[in-house]
């Protein structure tokens, strides 16, 4: 599949006249809890030729393509990525931490990652992750059953929110890096669930262990309560502008 992805990225570059600076896996494969029927969620960051940024017409800032049974792929212009980073959007933060990288211009990922750490907002990141967790929590049935996929859509963002609250820094993307935030007696159980998810379809239903449910509810309430008082951060765009200009002019 990797060769198919690389060929698709090359095709996109040729057809759209862009340069892909970075491409990675962003979904459950990147989060380290894929199912047998998980598709490939490929995301990329690109730039256009320098002159296109000088036009009175702003070029499209994203490229999306029809999703097939295996591949879900889209990309964002670097300008859009940097605009989102100024808002402390978690998506660029996660892309840059992906353990599965398909394409990377030399030094690009590290430089952008170092820049991103200047734009972390504890408030917006915590609220974002709690929002994802809340949406997945609402799928729990009256019998405390939930799709195994949705359970991890509760756990990973909840632990990411917990990381933001407790460590006041960008949360790791992968579940392995977040596992130390779980009580020691729960880690083995979650590891077993990851192993089960690797062999079960995403629609597979499980009953949530009472202790795990209690942990989820308590941590959600705690993170939600603490983050309510966090101030709203406002970030300067100077460093982002500088990075953008250096990149599109080839002077980075």
Domain count, the chain: 2
Q: Which pLDDT score, from 0 to 100, does residue 200 have?
A: 83
Q: How far apart, in whole angstroms, are the C-alpha atoms of residue 142 and residue 218? A: 19
Instruction: Write out the H or E segment, with its range, that includes residue 242.
Output: helix 238-248
- Would strands 145-147 and 62-64 be described as parallel, antiparallel, or unpaired? unpaired
12 lies in which domain range? 2-120+237-248
Q: What is the pLDDT of residues 126-174, one digit of tens each?
A: 999 999 999 999 998 888 899 998 999 999 999 999 999 999 999 999 9
**Per-residue pLDDT averaged across 4-10, rounded?**
93
Give the contacts of 151 (CB within 8 A, at least 6 positions apart). Answer: 136, 193, 206, 208
89 in a domain, yes or no?
A: yes
Give the contacts of 63 (CB within 8 A, at least 6 positions apart). Answer: 12, 16, 18, 46, 74, 75
Same domain, 199 and 215: yes
Same domain, 6 and 116: yes
Same domain, 28 and 104: yes
Q: Which pLDDT score, from 0 to 100, does residue 251 have?
A: 67
Same domain, 128 and 108: no
Three-state DSSP class for residue 78: helix
User: To the nearest whole percent, how much of the chain has pLDDT over 70?
Assistant: 99
Same domain, 166 and 100: no
**Per-residue pLDDT averaged across 174-203, rounded?**
90
Q: Tokens at residue 251, please?
A: 């002077």
Q: Half-sphere exposure (CA, 13 Å, Cβ side) for 72? A: 11
Give the contacts of 66 (CB within 8 A, at least 6 positions apart). Answer: none
Of 137, 92, 140, 98, whose CA–CA distance to 116 is shortest? 92
Same domain, 18 and 116: yes
Say what the pTM is: 0.93
CATH number of the domain enclosing 47: 3.30.460
232 in a domain, yes or no?
A: no
Residue 74 pairs with which residues in a beta bridge?
Answer: 43, 64
User: To the nearest whole percent, how much of the chain has pLDDT over 90?
Assistant: 76
Same domain, 175 and 210: yes
Q: Tokens at residue 75, please?
A: 């990309």
Mean pLDDT (the chain) is: 93
**Per-residue pLDDT averaged across 170-180, rounded?**
95
67 in a domain, yes or no?
A: yes
Alpha-helical segments (H) within 78-183? 78-86, 90-95, 108-116, 122-137, 148-167, 175-178
Q: What is the pLDDT of residues 42-93, one digit of tens each?
A: 999 999 999 999 988 888 899 998 888 789 999 999 999 999 999 999 999 9
What is the DSSP code (8-state) at residue 249? T
């Amino acid at each position: 599949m990797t060769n198919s992805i690389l060929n698709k990225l090359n095709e996109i570059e040729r057809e759209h006249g862009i340069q892909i600076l970075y491409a990675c896996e962003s979904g459950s494969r990147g989060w380290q809890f894929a199912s047998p029927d998980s598709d490939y969620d490929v995301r990329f960051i690109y730039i256009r030729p320098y002159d296109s940024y000088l036009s009175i017409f702003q070029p499209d800032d994203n490229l999306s393509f029809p999703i097939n049974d295996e591949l879900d792929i889209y990309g964002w212009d670097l300008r859009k990525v940097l605009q989102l980073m100024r808002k402390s959007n978690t998506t660029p933060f996660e892309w840059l931490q992906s353990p599965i990288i398909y394409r990377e211009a030399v030094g690009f990922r590290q430089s952008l990652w170092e820049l991103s750490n200047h734009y972390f907002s504890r408030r917006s990141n915590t609220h974002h992750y709690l929002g994802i967790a809340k949406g997945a929590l609402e799928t729990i049935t009256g019998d405390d059953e939930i799709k195994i996929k949705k359970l991890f859509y509760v756990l990973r963002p909840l632990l990411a929110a917990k990381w933001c609250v407790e460590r006041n820094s960008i949360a790791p993307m992968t579940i392995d890096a977040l596992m130390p935030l779980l009580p020691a007696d729960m880690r083995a159980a979650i590891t077993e669930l990851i192993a089960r998810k690797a062999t079960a379809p995403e629609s597979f239903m499980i009953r949530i262990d009472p202790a795990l449910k209690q942990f989820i509810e308590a941590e959600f309430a705690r993170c939600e309560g603490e983050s309510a008082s966090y101030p709203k951060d406002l970030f300067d765009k100077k460093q982002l502008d500088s990075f953008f200009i250096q990149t599109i002019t080839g002077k980075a």
